[in-house]
Structure 1
Amino acid sequence: MHPQLTPGIDVALLVFWAFVAFLVALVFYLRREDRREGYPLEDVLSGRVDTPGGPLSTASPKSFLLPFGHGVVTAPTTGRDPFDIAARRTERFAGAPHVPTGDPLVDGIGPAAWADRAKRPDLDMEGHPRIVPLSAAPEYGIARGDSDLAGWPVIAADKAVAGTVVELWIDKADRLVRYLAVALENGGSTVLAPMMMATVDRGRRRVVIDAITAAQFTRAPRIDAADSITLYEEDRVQGYFGGGYLYATADRQEPLF
């Protein structure tokens, strides 16, 4: 084949312009696809909803089949999420910070916020719940020489005893401990505390969780099932304890210096 089709066009030039056309089309496609979540935009001051238009508007709805028969998810969704936030704006401009008007850990404000995730457990490759109590997974165990922490006291941020560890909850897929089941003091119920926020003091045989105070343990989110935790419940638990690093005590909300 002769490399020159006409006196002014050759194969290399055609390939170049074909690549440019493909790149432009790809940019348009990606800019439409990335508007599947978080759009249309909403003005935080007036509440006005701006629906994008033109060639970069939101792509047409697309449906995704969830594994193990858990239904279908369609994006983008229609309508707005009707959430009332228990906080007030500190200044009258877009992007101004909010301050809580109630209990920020319970209301899910700032670092204590959670996502409205699916009301089902996270599943492994076989379709079984990933995170379960150690007693419900007899094929797993604690390494020889390590303790299962049962009976160890849990020390909170205010140095008070919040409760006692009664069981470990493990992640069967990642092969690690995800949560501690803590029986609260004075005959209270059992709550799950994130293992990643706990410090195991082997010398004194205790567990320190300085994210929240002992009293705040009593308001920690509960889970419905005794042998599994849903994605939504995980977000609630993680948000509650994570938010404690800012909201547990008043002095944590002040500058460091």
Structure 2
Amino acid sequence: MQTGAITGYIDVAQLVLYAFWIFFAGLIYYLHRENKREGYPLESDRSRSITVQGWPSVPEAKTYRLANGDTVQAPNSRQANQPPVHEGAYRGAPLQPVEGTDDLLLAGVGPGSWNDRADVADLTYEGLPKIVPLRAAPGFGVAHQDVDPRGLPVLGDDGAEGGRVVDLWVDRSEMLFRYLELEVAGGARVLLPMNFARVEQRRIRVKSILSHQFARVPKTRAADQVTLLEEEKIMAYYGAGTLYATPDRQEPLL
């Protein structure tokens, strides 16, 4: 037998198959463990002192370098800054938002839940704020074939006016409008996500909240940019309105 002719006395195909099985099992183990860098350990329904992490356990902290030069570790011990909720009679019971008239829209529960993202603006590849109003984005505008919503009234689900559009916020990376900027009662400025707006020729309709609830939309810290955390809270406010804007929305259909 010639040197190196191992196929005559070794089943190479079977060895390759076994090697693939070992590699694939290791890959599954690695991916399942890496999946636990966020959201773990879980909260136990029985006691806060019980650690629920399953097998394999939560991996050691790993440092990630972000595009802006900052670093973040995962997993980490940072606590989410979520609003308080009533857990009900026992742990694991359906979460209930805090009681109050419009506080339900800020409770952070159900359709109004939000993720505790970084309180910094999302940036373009060039390092500029990605979502800005048209007044800060020369070269962008509304196509002449479309309705320019600036100056139009915004009506809540009760049919009353909740504010007027004063500007549009454009995503400079995706080339589309993300928000309408409204001036509400008292002169405050709030953002309305385009997802919740129905633009008509003479008005803009919003089904998720009522007219007086526009004034309580979470505000942005800066006049010409919005942070990732602010986006979460703004979107969550309108999302919560689909269930909590009026008491009858929480009742069964039948």
TM exceeding 0.5? yes
SS, match of residue 245 in structure 1: helix
Give me the whole-angstrom Cα distance separating, in 1, the residues matched to 2:79 and 2:178: 33
Q: Share of identical aligned residues, percent?
A: 44
Confirm or deny: 8 A CA contact 2:80 2:116 kept in the other structure.
Answer: no
Q: Aligned pair 1:197/2:200, yes or no?
A: no
Aligned to 2:145: 145
1:35 matched to 2:36? The reply is yes
Cα deviation 1:154-185 (Å, max 9, x = unaligned): 10011111011111111111111111111113
Q: Which runs of 5+ in 1 are unaligned?
A: none
Contact 1:41–1:49 (8 Å) recurs in 2: no
The C-alpha deviation readout for 1:122-149, integer Å capped at 9, x for no partner, is 1112111110001111111111133331
1:30-54 superposed Cα distances (whole Å, 9 cap, x missing partner): 1211111111122134212315476
Check whether the contact 1:148–1:167 (CA below 8 A) recurs between aligned residues.
no
Out of 240-249 and 97-106, give the one that drifted further. 97-106
Map residues 95-110 of structure 1 onto 2, 5 A cutoff: 96-102=93-99, 103-110=103-110
Paired amino acid for 2:90? R
Contact 2:97/2:104 (CA < 8 Å) preserved in 1?
A: yes
Distance verdict in 2 for CA 1:179–1:83, change over 3 Å: closer
Please tell me whether residue 11 in structure 1 is matched to residue 8 in structure 2.
no
Greater CA deviation, 128-137 or 72-81? 72-81
Contact 2:156 2:207 in 1 (8 A): yes
Pair 1:45–1:110, CA change in 2 (3 A): farther
Aligned residues: 248
Relative distance call for 1:177 and 1:52 in structure 2 (3 A) is closer
CA contact (8 A) 2:154 2:204 kept: yes
User: Alpha carbons of 1:162 and 1:45: their partners in 2 closer, same or farther (altered >3 Å)?
Assistant: farther
Mapped contact 1:154–1:161 kept (Cα < 8 A): yes
Counterpart check, 1:248 vs 2:229: no
Distance in 2 between the 1:14 and 1:147 partners? 67
In structure 2, the gaps of 5 or more residues are none
Instruction: Measure the CA separation in 1 of the matches of 2:147 and 2:32.
Output: 52
Amino acid at match of 1:210: K
Q: For the residues of structure 2 that align with 1:249 and 1:34, how far apart are their CA atoms? A: 39
Which residue of structure 2 aligns with residue 92 of structure 1? 90
**1:2 aligned to 2:1?**
no
Query: Amino acid of the residue matched to residue 77 of structure 1?
Result: N
Whether contact under 8 Å (2:97, 2:108) holds in the other structure is: no
Task: Spell out the pairing of 1:139-218 with structure 2 (5 A cutoff).
Answer: 139-185=139-185, 187-202=186-201, 205-218=202-215
Q: CA deviation at 1:84?
A: 5.5
**Within 1, Cα distance between the matches of 2:161 and 2:86?**
31
Distance 1:79 1:125 in 2: 28
RMSD: 1.9
Rounded to whole Å, the distance in 2 between the matches of 1:101 and 1:160 is 27
Aligned amino acid, residue 242 of structure 1: G
- Give the 3 Å change call, closer, same or farther, for CA 243–62 of structure 1 in structure 2: same
Say yes or no: does 1:47 pair with 2:48: yes
Aligned in 2, Cα 1:135/1:46: closer, same or farther, shift over 3 Å?
same
CA contact (8 A) 2:197 2:206 kept: yes
Distance between the aligned counterparts of 1:79 and 1:169, measured in 2? 32
